[in-house]
Amino acid sequence: MPVVRDVDATSSDCDDCPIATDRRRFFRDAALALAGTLVALGATRRVALALPVELIHPGRRTDHTVTYPVPTADGAQIDRDNQVIIVRWQNVGYAFNLSCPHQNTALRWDDADRRFQCPKHHSKYQPDGTFISGRATRSMDRLGIRLESTSLIVDLDQFYRQDKEPEQWKSAFVTLTA
Ligand code: FES
């Protein structure tokens, strides 16, 4: 089953209209072109992206699970195709929905400040998804996650909102070895 995400029907944004889509595609392509140039000039892939985050693709996908290698260093990785953020932070692994819980804007990882930030209304979140400040009214939405050998298995059907499923939200992490 696909992940169910909130859609704000009252939003005046035209997130899905063709012009907005073309514009997003243009800016994404421009950003990736810039990143490619920086990589060619010797910058690392992580540094080259506008906000330093690693784009990843799952190793395997089933009807409702996606599999990723366990990250080897602290930070965030984004799988845009499945709208999943994978975080390794202080030997704990998390999976988050990519969308900001306020109005579904794609979140960004700010490597300098070591936190997530929403580009739309600037809500901020800790690496474990905990809400810090901004217009959002809850922490980042977590997905079910389990560890199998050297892989993280994320269950897209296990979608936990901190305000509605606080216990499941708190338990949605895996402990990783140092
Ligand atoms: S959409 Fe993220 S704070 Fe409003």
Q: Is the CB of 121 under 6 A from ligand 1?
A: yes
Q: Is the CB of 123 under 6 A from ligand 1?
A: yes
Residue identifier of the C-alpha nearest atom 1 of ligand 1: 103
Q: Which fold has domain 52-175?
A: Rieske Iron-sulfur Protein (2.102.10)
Alpha carbon 21 to its chain's center: 20
Residues sharing a CB contact under 8 Å with residue 153, sequence separation 6 or more, in sequence order: 65, 66, 67, 145, 146, 147
How many angstroms separate the CA atoms of 15 and 85, rounded? 20
Task: Say whether pTM exceeds 0.75.
Answer: no
Domain definitions of the chain by residue range: 52-175
Distance 7 CA to ligand 1 centre (A): 12
Q: For every one of its 178 residues, what pLDDT tens digit does the chain have, with 9 covering 90 and above?
A: 333 333 233 333 444 445 444 544 444 444 444 444 444 443 333 433 334 467 877 777 788 999 999 999 999 999 999 999 999 999 999 999 999 999 999 999 998 899 999 999 999 999 999 999 999 999 999 999 999 999 999 999 999 999 999 999 999 999 998 7
Determine the residue of 10, 100, 138 to mutate for testing ligand 1's pocket, defined as the one with the most ligand atoms within 8 A of the Cβ atom: 100
How far lies 136's CA from each of 7, 48, 57, 158, in Å?
14, 29, 28, 21
Q: Is the CB of 137 under 6 A from ligand 1?
A: no
